[in-house]
Structure 1
């Protein structure tokens, strides 16, 4: 944990949501409006900091991707925490609970955010152990991808969050294709590889359902995802659902571990980060160490 101006620091976990339509993704980018940039700017104003605090995020979303269950953390000095929290009394027992205080911090941060931006909502800002890491301590991440098949009734109220497919889709076939991708695999076929990184991931859930408004929604859960993986595996399953490729070919493409043009990466606006799950406090450090270890497949199996 950082120590600023010789003051003991606290680690604060932010739970937040955002409509990603008008943002160039989560991460800071020069000259572009990003979720991280808006939050760090608001925190700088709220904490009256000489330098804007830096956030570590649990799931780095691309331009246009939304979030209902994003998590981030930052370190603050004792003086900054006092400015953020202020005097917290409920008028009954004198002191607010930590949960109430966390919501109060969130309201104050939202108040600053709302002066300059819309579409970002912080739900909680609570103190966590210094071993908590929003990125590396995560056990799993859950996304939802929404799309509409050709012929489905269009709903303008959900258009910002739902991708359109210009063909009819067979959801039963798509589910069978999704089942073939489950488990521990090398997902290089579906990722934009970064030098020195691995695309080995454990895909825990890939389930389709029909929503109340007639869209198809996929629940996709894994221990972690590499860049563009969710939109790519959805695109591959959609290709099966439109009969462009067969399930057997999908399996061969997965095992080839090579980028291909046989399916398209789906549009960003259909994707939302729904939840990030973490272990108990006593297991945070061990989980972070495990996550940082490079994963490989056992070729003997």
Structure 2
């Protein structure tokens, strides 16, 4: 960082129900738009740009999202006002004072050297929640109600076939010039005492709609409509498969973003920026 700028690191959560996704869009309510607007309001610095760890789709929630924003030193030092709070505590309090109730900032810190919320991350952990029993109406914004019984053992066995380093083109909505090669560290399913089944999905990064496509493909295997041979055939496709049902966004939550030790942040960012190959 230059001497004139402080990089602030934000940890925050949001209920994605009423947002058109993370990314700012004209005339639409987005998480980025609300957060950047709040930052400009409390810092009195125009045209601030927030860099986020994971750009979530419309309707997707986040509990452990992370981002960074570069603030002029003068604006950073004004944050405590007349109190004895630190600039980070001042910014935290001010932001939560003006943000809508469906976004909350949990922590603000001065980022260590080399920190980049997007490129320095080592993994993102999502959970997709689904129930095959009578759904709790209080959870309808966060849990998918599936109308067929699901075999958790079968779901776990099938998930193991798509983990590891591979091309996930069949499960991604392609973007010009972007690679679909990813390392899927974990794709596991567990039924909670409440009856809700949680699919935990961890990867170094995800391409557009990858988690929801993976979940959609596995659900039709777990309820018996498709078999494992179908999944293997679909997963081997070199382009997006039209046979895959994309699960609805509201069952998905970004739970956590992982980073290396501070001394390894810059090196990690360089690795991430390099184009992935098999």
TM-score after normalising by structure 1 = 0.89
Given candidates 99, 122, 133, the residue that maps to 1:139 is 122
The answer to whether the 8 Å contact 2:67/2:117 transfers is yes
Counterpart for residue 226 of structure 2: 245
The answer to whether the 8 Å contact 1:239/1:263 transfers is no
CA distance in 2, matches of 1:183, 1:260: 20
Q: How does 1:269-280 map to 2 (within 5 A)?
A: 269-280=250-261
The alpha-carbon deviation at position 44 of structure 1 amounts to 0.6
The alpha-carbon deviation at position 130 of structure 1 amounts to 4.0
Q: Deviations over 1:65-109 (max 9, x none)?
A: 0000000000001111022233553xxxxxx6x7xx634431221
Q: What runs of 5+ residues in structure 2 fail to find an aligned partner?
A: none
**2:79 match: secondary structure:** helix
Given candidates 23, 30, 54, the residue that maps to 2:26 is 30
**1:39 match: secondary structure:** helix
Given candidates 80, 83, 90, the residue that maps to 2:78 is 83
Q: Deviations over 1:39-84 (max 9, x none)?
A: 11111110012x1311000000000000000000000011110222
- 2:69 aligned with 1:74, yes or no? yes
- 2:156 aligned with 1:175, yes or no? yes
Q: Deviations over 1:225-268 (max 9, x none)?
A: 00000000001100111222211221121112222232300000
Counterpart for residue 91 of structure 2: 105
**2:137 match: secondary structure:** coil
Counterpart for residue 187 of structure 2: 206
* CA radius of gyration, larger in: 1
Q: How does 1:1-301 map to 2 (within 5 A)?
A: 1=1, 8-49=4-45, 51-89=46-84, 102-113=88-99, 117-149=100-132, 152-297=133-278
**1:291 match: secondary structure:** helix
The answer to whether the 8 Å contact 2:79/2:88 transfers is no
The answer to whether the 8 Å contact 1:202/1:224 transfers is yes
CA distance in 2, matches of 1:64, 1:200: 25
RMSD, aligned α-carbons: 1.5
TM-score after normalising by structure 2 = 0.96
CA distance in 1, matches of 2:82, 2:169: 51
CA distance in 2, matches of 1:77, 1:245: 55
CA distance in 2, matches of 1:271, 1:31: 25
The answer to whether the 8 Å contact 1:185/1:202 transfers is yes
The alpha-carbon deviation at position 223 of structure 1 amounts to 0.4
Structure 1 residue runs of 4+, over 4 Å off? none
Aligned residues: 278
